Amino acid sequence: MLAPALGAERLRLREPLAPYTTFRIGGPADVLYDAMTADELASAIVAAREAGVPVFVLGLGANILVGDAGFRGLVVRNRANAIRFGSDGRVQAESGATVAELIRQTVAAGWSGLEHYVGIPSTVGGAVWQNLHFLSPAPERERTMFIAEVVANVELLLPSGARTVVSADEMAFGYDTSRLHGSGEIALRVDFQLTPGEQDTLQRILQENLAWRGARHPWLEVHPSAGSIFKKIEGVGAGRLIDQCGLKGFRIGDAQISFMHANIVVNVGRATAADVRAVIAHAQAAVRERFGQSLEPEIGFIGEFTAP
Ligand SMILES: NC(=O)C1=CN([C@@H]2O[C@H](COP(=O)(O)OP(=O)(O)OC[C@H]3O[C@@H](n4cnc5c(N)ncnc54)[C@H](OP(=O)(O)O)[C@@H]3O)[C@@H](O)[C@H]2O)C=CC1
Ligand SMILES: C=C(O[C@H]1[C@H](O)[C@@H](CO)O[C@H](OP(=O)(O)OP(=O)(O)OC[C@H]2O[C@@H](n3ccc(=O)[nH]c3=O)[C@H](O)[C@@H]2O)[C@@H]1NC(C)=O)C(=O)O
């Protein structure tokens, strides 16, 4: 049903999703399609919806846990990555561009606003979906900065299949959220408004932020993860509560609570989604019993899970 619209030769059947996630976990998608432009991304979603096929848009797979039984339907891997510079600090990126590449190009051109988010795996689409954030530069690090601060407009694909451009004010950005959560809307392109930056300042922020993250978070290349597993508990810290339960290093199968940061679960070998879910349940039960607090997962659970 999808082949006429998307091209049979570009559809991969029963494709394992683990390699396309930072957790390196997850069973096969019925069908995987790589969208190479924003137009292809929009066409694929519209084609799937018209055919009544469930569809999931995959960025870098940095904030999701895919079930061991995989995804029934179409996974569209967003590889639409064109980046165009306008005048006076305007930069437009397709939503599959990586934040890493966008930072590389904007910093090289002397524009400030995105350098704070260095080292965080994300596509531009994932970044606006979740309102990507990091602490303000050292030495103060006095506040959390959000990508919303440099977003001017977002082009959206609506559930109807129509496209529209909305301003940042209309994006309902919050901590770890935006209007894209649960709305069925997909970000196709984002316009950023950046400001001139001193090359030395930009380079300092890049290096200091990478050092900060490197010292606190496990390294993805060695210890695959999905970043923070649980949502922030304001003024307390999900990681601190799990830590105080003595759970650093707690392991089920090959899923382990990181020794570096208790809010991160790492895949130390061949972890399954069931292993990760069992670790999540254990941490939730321990924190509820000890502190009476509910830990709410921050990651998305995608596809089909077998019982742990
Ligand atoms: N601060 C940190 O240290 C870390 C932060 N992260 C966060 O994780 C996210 C990772 O992004 P990424 O790997 O690209 O995303 P993922 O592939 O992990 O997808 C996560 C969700 O993003 C939504 N999404 C992705 N692309 C789009 C799009 N074009 N339009 C609308 N929704 C989209 C989907 O939501 P839906 O299910 O609603 O369709 C999906 O469930 C970033 O937001 C980043 O902030 C991750 C790791 C560490
Ligand atoms: C890693 C992510 O985002 C990160 C983001 O990189 C950084 C910097 O802005 O701030 C948040 O981390 P965080 O470390 O402050 O969050 P929490 O896990 O709630 O920890 C809060 C505090 O608890 C303490 N803490 C943390 C871990 C630990 O093992 N022990 C401990 O005592 C630390 O003092 C820490 O600062 C984001 N996490 C959440 C859940 O909001 C992600 O979204 O995947």
Query: Cβ(262)–Cβ(242) under 8 Å?
Result: yes
User: Per residue in 59-88, is it b (16+ CB within 10 Å) or e — as a string?
Assistant: bbbbbbbbbbebbebbbbbbbbbebeeeee
Q: Which helix (H) or strand (E) holds 157?
A: strand 151-157
Q: Does domain 83-215 have CATH number 3.30.465.10?
A: yes
Identity of the residue numbered 176:
D
Residue 307: its pLDDT value, please?
Answer: 58
**Which of 217, 168, 226, 204 has its CA nearest to residue 23?**
226
Measured by CA distance, the residue closest to atom 2 of ligand 1 is: 120
Q: Return d(Cα 133, Cα 146) in angstroms, integer.
A: 4
* Structure tokens belonging to residue 48: 């799937």
Q: Report residue 249: phi and psi, to 5°.
A: 90, -5
Residue ranges matching CATH 3.90.78.10 in the chain = 218-302
Which residue lies with its CA nearest to atom 14 of ligand 2? 239
Q: Tell which CATH architecture fits domain 3-78.
A: 2-Layer Sandwich (3.30)
User: To the nearest 10°, the Cα dihedral for 97, 101, 104, 110?
Assistant: -10
Q: How far apart, in whole angstroms, are the C-alpha atoms of residue 108 and residue 91?
A: 13
Which protein residue's CA is at the shortest distance from atom 30 of ligand 2? Answer: 240
Provide CATH 3.30.43.10 ranges for the chain.
3-78
Is the CB of residue 228 below 6 angstroms from any atom belonging to ligand 2?
A: yes
Q: What class does CATH assign to 218-302?
A: alpha beta
Q: Which residues are part of the catalytic machinery? A: 228, 298
Pocket test for ligand 1, best of 21, 24, 49, 57 (most atoms within 8 A of CB): 57
Q: Which ligand is nearest to the CA of 63?
A: 1
300 lines ligand 1 (CB under 6 A): yes
Q: Ligand nearest 42 Cα, by number?
A: 1
Q: Which amino acid is at 25?
A: I
CA distances (Å), origin 93, targets 4, 38, 81, 169, 268? 29, 10, 7, 19, 34
Distance 214 CA to ligand 2 centre (A): 13
> Distance between CA atoms of 230 and 234, rounded to whole angstroms?
12
Res 76: pLDDT: 98
What is the Cβ-side half-sphere exposure of residue 70, based on CA atoms within 13 angstroms? 18
How many C-beta neighbours within 10 Å does residue 147 have?
Answer: 26
Collect the ranges in the chain with pLDDT lower than 70.
307-308
Prior bond of 139 cis (ω within 30°): yes
Amino acid at 283: A
- What is the whole-number distance in angstroms between the Cα of residue 79 and the centre of ligand 2? 29
Using an 8 Å Cβ cutoff, are 287 and 293 in contact?
yes
Where, residue-wise, is CATH 3.30.465.10 in the chain? 83-215
**Residue 263 CA: which ligand 2 atom is closest?**
18
- What are the contacts of 86-92 at 24+ separation with CB within 8 A? 89/113, 89/193, 89/194, 89/195, 89/196, 90/152, 90/191, 90/192, 90/193, 90/194, 91/191, 91/192, 91/194, 92/189, 92/190, 92/191, 92/192
CA 187 to centroid of ligand 1, rounded, Å: 11
